[in-house]
A and B are shown apart, each in its own frame.
Chain A
Amino acid sequence: MLTRIEWWGGVIFVLWAVLYGMYLRSADKNAGFDWGRLFGHLYYLAPAVVLVGYFYPLDRPWLRHAYLGLVAVALLLAVVGLVQEVLELRESDGKDKDKEEEDAEETGPVMLAVGVFLANAPVLVACGLGCYKAWPMVQQLLQR
């Protein structure tokens, strides 16, 4: 094994790779530079780096600070991304209601939350693990 990543970390990475692959396939390759597209790439890549960092000891202070910064960035991107996704889903739900489908079911908030979580599980789990690792460092910083 070339890395210290545990088997369950590998499972998260495989799921992450599937999600990221789907995102890359949906990208328009000829679109050129786009801020939204850049945000999308960072949304997936930042948690991946956070997850790798979770399995490694951060012996140096600068490593710990860098990891803290990365976790903060990944969390911010995850929150913004999720809010965007929820808003888009609600918008498309509203459009479905406008069509004359009498038996169209409205997605409840719980189902919406479950759906969004499942669709972004690797990203969220990576951010969660990063927060778990970063929390003692934050406490240390606050105690100073």
Chain B
Amino acid sequence: MSQNAHTLHLFFDDSMQTKYCQLMFHHLCTGNLEKAQRFANDLGGIDLAALWDSQDFFNGSVQAKDRGLQLKFESSTHAGIPLRLLETLFAHGLRSAVAEVFYDQVGETERMHFDKGLWVTHREFYERNPALRAVVNGPQEVSEAADRSDDPPEGTRNPRSPVPIARVREQQEEKEREGREAAEAVMDLFKGMRESGVSPVKGIIGVLLLRAAFKGLLHAVLFTVVTVLLFKGFWLWMSLGLVLAVVLPLYYANSERESLRS
């Protein structure tokens, strides 16, 4: 079964916070919620439900790495970078983080860099935290990278300007919600068509033909507006536009039907 592999590099300013966080995640990974909550309280009362999706996250492990933590876990294939987890930690003392997720189904990696609660570019992250490059990438990769230009690793997502992580999370949730609603609308449409005895395939063809006809109508309107504005002979262009408003939708719909048939 496919799953996504997550790797989070977490950096706190305070070594005590680093230790509490490590212990909290260790107990979360082992399923000991009571002990995890104790360390969550030490970090300022973190809501564990917001932090860890115990239904979706599994095979977790956490280890101290130089001046930070490396948290690894797996999730279902629809889970992306855990923005809610990071947002919660940033609200409780986290200073910087690098989040990476490997999408097993498509074999691609996605990476994002965060600093002081903002999603920043790869370049900006290492300008603000030069010492973390060796921690995140390993010392060998650092010396190799020094010989090349500062190209981000493949899969790195960079914003145009720093964005608060809360906004990134809201935008992602909005996109997911819209996707879910669109899928539900299509399913409802198919269900309605089936109930009324119309085949979903015929329904889709009908929608495509309607779209082609609408395109024809739009072209006719544009033609009429442009010619009336540019050239003399108002009634000539209006009449021609009217004729095109009938002919073009039929022509485009017929062309679409022929292409669907073939």
Contacts and interface: CB of A to CB of B under 8 A. Distances in A.
Nearest to A2: B229
Contacts of A5: 230-232
Nearest to A13: B231
Nearest to B233: A7
- Tell me the dominant secondary structure on chain B's binding face: helix
Interface residues of B, number: 10
Interface size class of A (residues with CB under 8 A): 10 to 19
- Tell me the dominant secondary structure on chain A's binding face: loop
Contacts of B228: 1
A80 B228 CA distance: 34
Interface in B124-161: none
A10 B227 contact: yes
A122 to B, nearest CB: 14
B237 interface: yes
Interface string A1-39: 111111101100110000000000000000000000000
Interface of B: 227-234, 236-237
Closest 5 interchain pairs by CB? A7-B233, A10-B231, A5-B231, A7-B236, A7-B232
22 contacts: A1-B229, A1-B230, A1-B231, A1-B232, A2-B229, A2-B230, A3-B230, A4-B232, A6-B231, A7-B232, A7-B236, A7-B237, A9-B231, A10-B227, A10-B230, A10-B231, A10-B233, A10-B236, A10-B237, A13-B230, A13-B231, A14-B227
